[in-house]
Amino acid sequence: MRRVLRAALILLLASGAGMAQAQEIKQGACYRAEVPRTYGPVRSITAKLDKNGIDIQFTEWDTPNTIFLAGASCAESGGRLIHCSIECDGGHADLALTPDGRLSLLARSLRSLSLGQESRLLSSLDADGTSLSGLYVLNESASEQCTPEGETYQVALQAGDDTPSVAAAERLLNDLGFLLEKPDNIFSDRTRAAVAQFQTASGLKATGVIDAETARRLVAQSATNGGC
């Protein structure tokens, strides 16, 4: 598979050999691509190169409210080809500028983090993340914000959920005195009871489910009480 992708990259560059030679990859420029569902899990991807390396962000199909982040150090290289990697076998990325000015990104098991967006009610950072592989061709973008597009919607937290957002909620409940246990990712019966008690104290219906309004109250009251 790796040989096939690299061969595809070489073919992509060679296909424009008759065109005027493009400039080198621009530092600070945002490159962006929307990816068809049929290609794989990636939905949208952005890349930005600076003196410290490459910053890659992407979203996946059917994974709402999450952006995956991958940063890699890049070896100095002239011309239109740059090799980037993460230490301890965290993956590799080859960057090349096609003759028509597009950025081709060949990723091989590039380790990433997953960042929960605010629309997930309680944002979270998951160090496990995922990995990025494949060949992507990105266009230079004029957008000031180099962030990929993705699905967003409110995600209620309830009994049985297993996510870092639950740990974030439990920390807030601990700050407010409704839950006295070490936060973890499991929304247990004790967590549900603590949420219901908080909702009753806040004048909300005691459902034991953290919906958008409950999450907003949790964050606001924790901040008022000096929580973080």
Domain 2-141 sits in CATH at 2.40.160
CB 85, CB 72: distance < 8 Å:
yes
Q: Phi and psi dihedrals of 143, rounded to 5? A: -65, 135
Q: What are the start and end residues of each CATH 2.40.160 domain in the chain?
A: 2-141
Q: Dihedral of CA 9/130/148/89: which sign?
A: negative
Coil vs helix vs strand at 38:
helix
Separation between Cα atoms, residue 157 and residue 187, nearest integer Å:
8
Q: What angle do CA 5, 9, 13 make, to 5 degrees?
A: 165
Indicate if the pLDDT at residue 17 is higher than 60: no
The CATH number of domain 164-224, selected from 1.10.101.10, 3.60.10.10, 1.20.810.10, 1.10.3720.10: 1.10.101.10
Instruction: Report pLDDT digits (tens) over 110-120.
Output: 988 877 655 55
CB atoms closer than 10 angstroms to residue 38:
5
The alpha carbons of the chain give a radius of gyration, in whole angstroms, of: 22
Q: What are the start and end residues of each CATH 1.10.101.10 domain in the chain?
A: 164-224
Instruction: Report pLDDT digits (tens) over 18-63.
Output: 433 546 888 889 999 999 999 999 999 999 998 888 999 999 998 8
pTM of the model: 0.62
Q: Could you give the dihedral angle defined by the CA atoms of residues 178, 184, 187 and 193, in that order, rounded to the nearest 10 degrees?
A: -20
Instruction: Report pLDDT digits (tens) over 136-170.
Output: 999 999 887 899 998 776 668 899 988 888 888 99
